[in-house]
Every structure is written in C-alpha cells, then in structure tokens.
Amino acid sequence: MLAVFFLAPFGFMLATSFYRRIEGGFYEPAFVFGSWQRLAHGVFIERTLFSIGICLLAGAVCIAVAFPFTYFLTRMRRRPHVILLVLIMSALALSEVIVGFAWSVLLGRAAGISNILVWLGAMDEAQAYQPSFVAVLLGLCYIAFPYCILTLYPQLTRLDPEVTEAAQTMGASPWRTFWTVVVPIGRPIIMAGFLLVFVFTLGSYLIPAFLGRPEHWTLSVFISDQATFNANVPFAAAMALFLTVLSLGVVALVMWTESRTRRAF
Amino acid sequence: MRALKWTLTALVVALLVAPLIVVAVVSINQNRYMDFPPEGFSLDWYAQLWRDSAWRSSITTSLVVAGASAALAVAIATPLAYLLRAYDIRLTPLLYSLGILPFMLPPVISALGALVFWNAIQHSGRIENIIVSHAIFFSTLPLITVSLAMETMDPSLPEAAQTLGANQRTTFRTVTLPLLVPSMITGYAAAFVLSLNEYIVAFMVSRFAVVTLPIKIVNDLRYGFTPTIAAVAVVFIVIATTMFTLFALFGNLLRFLGADPAILERER
Amino acid sequence: MKRFGDVVAVAGVDLELPAGKLISFLGPSGCGKTTLLRMIAGLERPTEGRVFLDDEDITDRPPHLRDIGMVFQTLALFPHLSVAGNIGYGMRIRGVGRGDMRTRVEELLQLVSLEGLGERRISQLSGGQRQRVATARALALEPRLFLLDEPLSALDANLREQLQVELRLLQQKLGITTIMVTHDQREAMTMSDLVVVIRLGEVEQVGAPLDVYRRPATPFVASFIGRTNILRGEASDGLVRIAGQTFDVDGAVTPGAVTVSVRPEDAHLLVGEVPERNALSGRVVFVRDLGELFECYVDCGLEEHVVVAGSPRERVHVEQGERVTVSFPREACVVVRG
C-alpha cells in the first residue's frame, strides 16, 4: 500500500510522457512517441552534457574545498569548532531562493564585490559577474557545500589522531601525511560526498535560472520551463524520466569504477 | 601547514558569509535601488514585510503549509518506521530505498510527478496539494530520524511494560511513543524548514493559485528588485543562526551531527 | 642519551637517560607519563625546558624531523595499507627504492616473527600480530630512539606477558635506546633496565627495578611497586618508636616523623606475644592460603592491617583471632621520604 503511494507519481509520469500535446497547454491520453523523439535533438543533448559537466565540476570543487576544511575542523578546539558548525548549519537553512538572490547581488553591478573594489580604488568601474558560468558554479557550490561537509563530518571525527601522529613519527611532514594517509583513508567518504553534490546540484532549479543565461541552464531548469511556461507537460515528463535514469546511471557508474580501482589498490 | 589551515578556513568562512553580509547591507539601505556604498540607513523595508498584505499573506501561507506538511510528514513516517522494523527484513531495504528516493532525485522530477498526479485527479491549484506533496516528499527526514531512534532504543523497555500488564497498543502509546518524541520533533523541525524554503514543488503544484514565500520572492525578482526581498532574506538568516546557536549552547550540536563521542573528550 | 625540562602537566622533570637501555616511565593514569613521552616525540611542546638527544637540542624540531620510532597506544596502523605497506611507509616517504624496501620489509617481518604476512590487510590480523606490525613499522628506519606508549594495554593477560618478553629480547638484540610508558608495574619490572616512577607530573624515583623495589624512596613508590606495609612513627635520640615499640631501621634517621616500609614477604610471623625489638603484636584478622603463597592480615593497632606473606614452607599455623607477633628484620625496614 505504501509502495503504491510512492510509485504512483512515477507511474503517472511515465504514462504522461507518451501523451500527445494539444494546443492550449493541455494534454490528452495517447500513446505517441513525439516527446521521446525530441530527446534525441541536439539542443537536448547539449543541455544534458552541460548539466552533467557543471554538476561534476561542482562536485569536484566542493569536495576539494570541503574535505581539507572538514578535516581541519575536526581537529579544532571546542570553541572555533562549534562556531564554525553553527555557521555551516545556518547556511544550510537558507533556501535556494535566498542564496541565488544573495549571490546575484554579490556578483552584480549595483552592490557587490566590484562595487567594493571600486570604492577601495582597485577598480575603475563596477562590473557584473553574473549571469555567467562562474556565477552558476559558485552558487551551486554554495548550496551544496554544507551538505557535503555534513556527509564528511561523522567519519572524519572518527579518524584516530594517533594515525596521523604515527605517520609524522615516521618522517612524513604534515603535508605528506595529509596526502598519503588522510586522503586514502577518506576515499569512501570523498566519493560519497562527490556523488552527493553531483545529484544535489543536478536537481537545482533556482540557481542556474537566477545566476545563468539560458546557455547555462541545466536540465532541471529546462524541464520545469517546459512544464510551466511552454505548457508542454508530456515533453517535460519524458525529460524528467530521462533525468532520473541519467542520475542513477552516473551514480552507478562512478560507484562501479570506484570499486574496481579499490580492488586494484 | 598551519598557515595553510587557517588561510583555508578564513577563505571558506569569508565565502560563506559574504553573500549574507551583502544582503544585510542592502536591506538596510534607504534607497529603493541597490547601490554601494549604501546611502542612509533605514529599517523601512522590514516594516514593509509587515504592512504589505501580499508579503504578509505569503508568509502566513508558507507557515501554514510548512506547519501542516511537516506534521503530516511525521504522521506518515512514524508508523512507517514502526512497520519497517516489525515486518519482513528482506523487504525493508527496498522500501527504505523507495522512501529515500524522492529525496535523492532532482526535485523537478518529483514536482512534475506531483503535478501530473494532481492534474489527473482533477484537483489542481489548491493549497492542500502543496501540503500533501510536501508531506510525502519530506517524509524521508522524519523517517530517518525516527528509525534511528527506534534502532538505538533499549528493547527491554517495552518488554518491561508488557511484563507489567500493558498490551501492544498500550505499550506503544505509553512507552515507545514518548521515547520517540525527540526524534519526531527533530524530524518535524527539519521537514518544516525544508518546506518553508521549498520552491519548485510548491510552484508546479499550485499553478499560480497559491503563493508561498519562496514563490513570492521569485515572482518579485522577475519584476525588479525591492529591498524588501533582502529584508526577508535577512530575517531568515537571523532565525536560522539563532536557532542553531541555541542548539549549540543548550543541546549537543556535535553529537547531533554525528560526531564521534570521543571527540567531545579531546581538549586539544 | 636524553634530557628534558618541564611543562604544565608535568612539572620540574629533569632527567638524563642512558643510551641503549630500556627505560620505563611508570605511574598511575593521568600522572603525566604519556605527556612526557609525547614531548620527547615532538607531539607536544614543553612550556618550559628543553629536550636533548645526544646533546642536540631538538625541542623545536617537529616530529617528522626527529629520528624516532613510536608505537602508539591504539597502535595507529594505517587501515588503507597492507602489513608491508605499513612497515614500508617510512621508507616510501624517504624515497627508498622498491627493491631495497622489499628486502628491508622482509627483514623486519622476520624480526618480529611475522614472515609471509606482508600482503595481509590490517583488519585480518589478531591483536598480537598487529602489535608486532606496529613494532616493525616503528623500527623500520633504525631510529635512534624507540618510544612506546602503553603498547600492550589492549591485549589480554597471557599475550601481554608473552609480548613483554619478546619486546625486551628484541630491544636487547638491537641495543636501541627505548622509552616505554606503562601503568603496569609488573611490566616495568619485567622489561626495564631503568624505571622512572612518576606521580602527579613529578618524578618520584629513578633506578633499576630491583633497587626501586628494595629501596623505595617514598611511600608512593613503595606501595605502587609491589605491596608493602607502611609503618609510621617518631624518631628521637637515634631511636625509632613505632606504636610504642622500639625499632632498628635501615637508613639514616632525622628526629621527627618517620615512615618505614617493609615488604610483606620480609616480615615474619611468630605465635603468641614475643617481646622483641622490631616487632609488633596483634591479632590475626584474616588468613589467605593461595596454595603457592599465603598471606596473613594482622591488626596491630595501626591505620592499616599489617600483611605478612610467604611461601607455603614458611607457613606458620595460625587461626583467626589468635594473638601473634610480627617481626620486622632490620634490613627490611626501609626509611622512606615523607
């Protein structure tokens, strides 16, 4: 009974993707491949590749920053440790809207970084850094960052500090210790964090919509646009299902390669 | 290495905080238009939130939706958690994954699914749609917190109740349930916050008929900026920070986030 | 040879330790012995004082530049590396060639009796095996100083005793200067050339195990190492009086309060009341006959019961409640400080 509850929307979506689109934004039950055929179009494929690309990049950036950061965090004294955690959790509680808005201001021409630089005399004229690719990337990283830290945190607190001390007594500088001991031990959670960010950013709608030009939009934006403004629900449904398969596919692929390399290790 | 550590931390903190500061500055700007440096100080925009009926109603709507959907989510999740533990172990991982699924996928998909669903049963554009959709979508969180609490609960407690004469129902009502209340509250709070901030599902499902706070913000932004938006953002930020600071001071924030108990001993 | 100063948790320690010997830092939990060891390792900084290794001031040197090998309490083996990987870690960092590394790892595996286990993962090893890997890893680069922080505390009793002997033999074979932290006085007695007894951050006594046992400097040392009877009395005119009886003691006495330590096995039990010097009469409270030894608890009117111990051959037949006399031979009455 409960399974039905969860699967019903999916079932409906699957069915709808085969429906035919009628004028006026409605759709009627039918069995047409039209929507699915459009998936093979260049534009759609381009969007897909872009989405995957930017989300993988966001994943890489987030992990690259979050892992060392969380590692240092777990070694800190009580006071700064807790303060930082409060800060991170607060950032987590922000909605995507607010984050998107805040970054659009920060990178904008009216009251953002460039304005500060102009005020300080480092720049002549204020510039808008958004909408742009970098803006979208930064926004995505920002919303994913707290979640990333939260997945890394529990395991990193369990890392026995004597292990890194042991490495040091054997001649490894703190830098080398980090790369030869901490990172290898952290591989599973690094992978988990990376995947988390990927899946999470793939689902982001407001950030790409806000901070990017149409060429920077991800599939999520595309889909919701089709469903609402273009009123082409069947097409949106088809894309949504494709996105589902895609997400699961990439996750499975990455996990598979991870287990292969693990064995060789 | 030590220098590197603090540089990284400082950088991260700066980046985390920067947008927030900017928004705060904008919200107290006297001018209607965004500019920097800000001209004049004014708390007018905060007052606007109160005066303007459109803002008030969207805030109210959001609170109602969040409150109701979070409650519903907990109501769905608790018996579900109980059943999952009581029934055949083989099915459990499968059902559990299904429960997590809507949460893991891009929200657009769930939003679209919900849209299609409500359309199909001819019930579009109503506030109940959002409440129910949110409840289902966010039921994952209370499910996780309650399941976890169930797992770590001492099994001899309900057994003791039974030896004292309580039947299954009474035991559940008087012993198990009260012990689960903290986890239910945590689940409620999480679902509440997420629902409050949620945009895409609410948007798709209500089809311009119901306006929650995020929807209003997005709509307003399309038509041009008002500092009132910034004021809303600041209010949210302050609430969130206050909540977590209180938690950190009076609760055990580290343990809540999964820290190893041993870390609490280390007084480096 | 090692010398060091002090830090907050450890105060006023000034030690000079000989090379090539196994030295134990012995004391109860929290007495600062581990802190002291960590300062030597470079994992803690002394607030005041210096650390010298062979006349080199290494106080400001980070751990990875000190020539040490250390075995940690939790062993701290790298879970992501195999046994060989763990042992070879130090060499890898230094860029030692593959072939040389492999040879050396084999040597070390043999040294600790773990031949053929190079490719195993840490999780597959038993507690004793892991201990040996940690040892091999620490010794891989032939450090000048070998440090051990309660290395055997995680093992069960039988294994501990076996490894105590193995470690000691290994140390003697290699002739490496070794400092070991332990709270187990039997372990310290078994393995050490020199024992440093530490209490509340201060050194109470330094000496060879038997010296420390026979001639404890303070009541704490006397009761921490083995068991002892602590007798308190007054000294005047060159005589010591304890509980009204006259005592001849071994050691110089200054007028005033005096504390004397006598090991149970050195005390003798006499039936009935025998008036003598160096004797106290009392009533038998409890007799413990353990087969291999017997103990007799006698109430002589002091704060604590006097314990007389001995082998079965020396057993004097007494019963609970019987009046007896405990005799404390002069050589066994050691004057302790405080």
Please, which pLDDT band fits residue A203 given cuts at 50, 70 and 90? confident
pLDDT value of position B266: 54
* B84-98, B152-166, C312-326 — most confident range: C312-326
pLDDT reading at A38 higher than 70:
no
Q: Chain A: nearest CA to C48, how far in angstroms?
A: 22
Please, which pLDDT band fits residue B268 given cuts at 50, 70 and 90? very low
pLDDT value of position A141: 92
CA proximity to B34, closest of A259, A104, A163, C220? A104
A142 contacts B15? CB cut-off 8 A: yes
User: pLDDT tens digits for C241-296?
Assistant: 888 788 877 777 778 888 888 888 888 888 888 888 888 888 889 888 888 888 88
Please, which pLDDT band fits residue A67 given cuts at 50, 70 and 90? very high
Q: How far is CA B141 from CA A187, B190, B193, C78, C254, in A?
A: 26, 7, 11, 35, 76
A79 in a domain, yes or no? Answer: yes
Phi, psi values for residue B74, rounded to 5° = -65, -40
Please, which pLDDT band fits residue B244 given cuts at 50, 70 and 90? confident
A253 in a domain, yes or no? Answer: yes
A95 in a domain, yes or no? Answer: no
pLDDT value of position B35: 61
What are the structural domains, with CATH classification, of chain B?
60-222 (1.10.3720.10)
Q: Does C208 touch chain A (CB under 8 A)?
A: no
Nearest-by-CA chain B residue for A110: B35
Q: Does A173 touch chain C (CB under 8 A)?
A: yes
Q: Does A245 touch chain B (CB under 8 A)?
A: no
pLDDT value of position C232: 86
pLDDT value of position A265: 38
Average pLDDT, chain A: 77
Q: Chain A: nearest CA to C172, how far in angstroms?
A: 22
pLDDT value of position B99: 60
A111 contacts B25? CB cut-off 8 A: yes
pLDDT value of position B267: 45
A83 in a domain, yes or no? Answer: yes
Average pLDDT, chain C: 86
A240 contacts B113? CB cut-off 8 A: yes
pLDDT value of position A58: 92
Span B229-244, mean pLDDT? 79
A173 contacts C63? CB cut-off 8 A: no
Indicate the pTM of the whole model. 0.77
Q: Which residue has the higher pLDDT, A118 or C104?
A: C104
CA proximity to B225, closest of B16, B2, B23, B14? B23
pLDDT value of position C2: 65
Please, which pLDDT band fits residue A90 given cuts at 50, 70 and 90? confident
- Distance CA(C310)–CA(C305), nearest Å, equals 16
* A58-62, B172-176, B181-185, C30-34 — most confident range: A58-62
- Both tokens of C243, joined, read 């509980």
C72 contacts A166? CB cut-off 8 A: yes
pLDDT value of position A70: 92
Of chain A, the percentage scoring pLDDT greater than 90 comes to 10
A173 contacts C89? CB cut-off 8 A: no
pLDDT value of position B89: 61
User: pLDDT tens digits for B13-72?
Assistant: 888 888 778 777 777 776 666 665 666 677 777 777 777 778 888 888 888 888 888 898
Torsion sign across C-alpha atoms B149, B151, B157, B159: positive
Neighbours of B182 (CB within 10 A): 12
User: pLDDT tens digits for C108-134?
Assistant: 998 888 888 888 888 889 888 999 999
CA proximity to A238, closest of B170, B112, B104? B112
In CATH, what number is assigned to the domain containing residue A259? 1.10.3720.10
Span B207-229, mean pLDDT? 78
pLDDT reading at A261 higher than 90:
no
- Distance CA(A190)–CA(C325), nearest Å, equals 74
Neighbours of C308 (CB within 10 A): 28
Residue entry with tokens 């995507």 = A96
Please, which pLDDT band fits residue A49 given cuts at 50, 70 and 90? confident
pLDDT reading at A30 higher than 60:
no
Nearest-by-CA chain B residue for A73: B9
pLDDT value of position A4: 52
**H runs (alpha helix) in B105-166:** 107-120, 127-138, 140-152, 156-163
C43 contacts A163? CB cut-off 8 A: no
pLDDT reading at C192 higher than 90:
yes
Q: For C134-172, b where at least 16 C-beta lie within 10 A, e where not — what string? A: bbbbbbbbebebbbbbbbbeebeeeebeebbebbbebbe
- The residue count of chain B comes to 268
Nearest-by-CA chain A residue for B254: A82
User: pLDDT tens digits for B152-187?
Assistant: 777 777 777 777 777 777 777 777 788 888 788 878
Number of compact structural domains in chain A: 1
A224 contacts B200? CB cut-off 8 A: yes
C68 contacts A169? CB cut-off 8 A: yes
Nearest-by-CA chain A residue for B121: A12
Indicate which of A5, A7, A12 best probes the interface with B, i.e. most B CBs within 10 Å of its own CB: A12
Span A36-64, mean pLDDT? 80
C137 contacts A172? CB cut-off 8 A: no
Span A10-31, mean pLDDT? 50
pLDDT value of position B227: 75
CA proximity to C225, closest of C35, C36, C27? C27
> Using an 8 Å Cβ cutoff, are C271 and C292 in contact?
no
A134 in a domain, yes or no? Answer: no
Q: Chain A: nearest CA to C161, how far in angstroms?
A: 25
| A176 interaction partners in chain C (CB closer than 8 Å) | 93
Range of the domain at A237: 35-90+146-205+215-264
What are the structural domains, with CATH classification, of chain C?
2-219 (3.40.50.300), 227-336 (2.40.50.100)
pLDDT reading at A27 higher than 60:
no
ipTM summary value: 0.76
Of chain B, the percentage scoring pLDDT greater than 90 comes to 0
Please count the residue pairs, one from chain A and one from chain B, whose beta carbons lie less than 8 angstroms apart: 234
A68 contacts B258? CB cut-off 8 A: no
Bridge partners, residue C25, by sequence: C181, C196
A242 in a domain, yes or no? Answer: yes
SS3 C193: coil
C68 contacts A180? CB cut-off 8 A: no
Q: Which residue has the higher pLDDT, B179 or A16?
A: B179
Q: Does A30 touch chain B (CB under 8 A)?
A: no
| B267 interaction partners in chain A (CB closer than 8 Å) | 77-78
Please, which pLDDT band fits residue C169 given cuts at 50, 70 and 90? very high
Q: Does C51 touch chain A (CB under 8 A)?
A: no
pLDDT value of position B186: 79
Torsion sign across C-alpha atoms C96, C102, C103, C104: positive
| A169 interaction partners in chain C (CB closer than 8 Å) | 41, 43, 63-64, 66, 68-70, 138, 147
pLDDT value of position A1: 47
| A81 interaction partners in chain B (CB closer than 8 Å) | 254
Span A193-221, mean pLDDT? 83
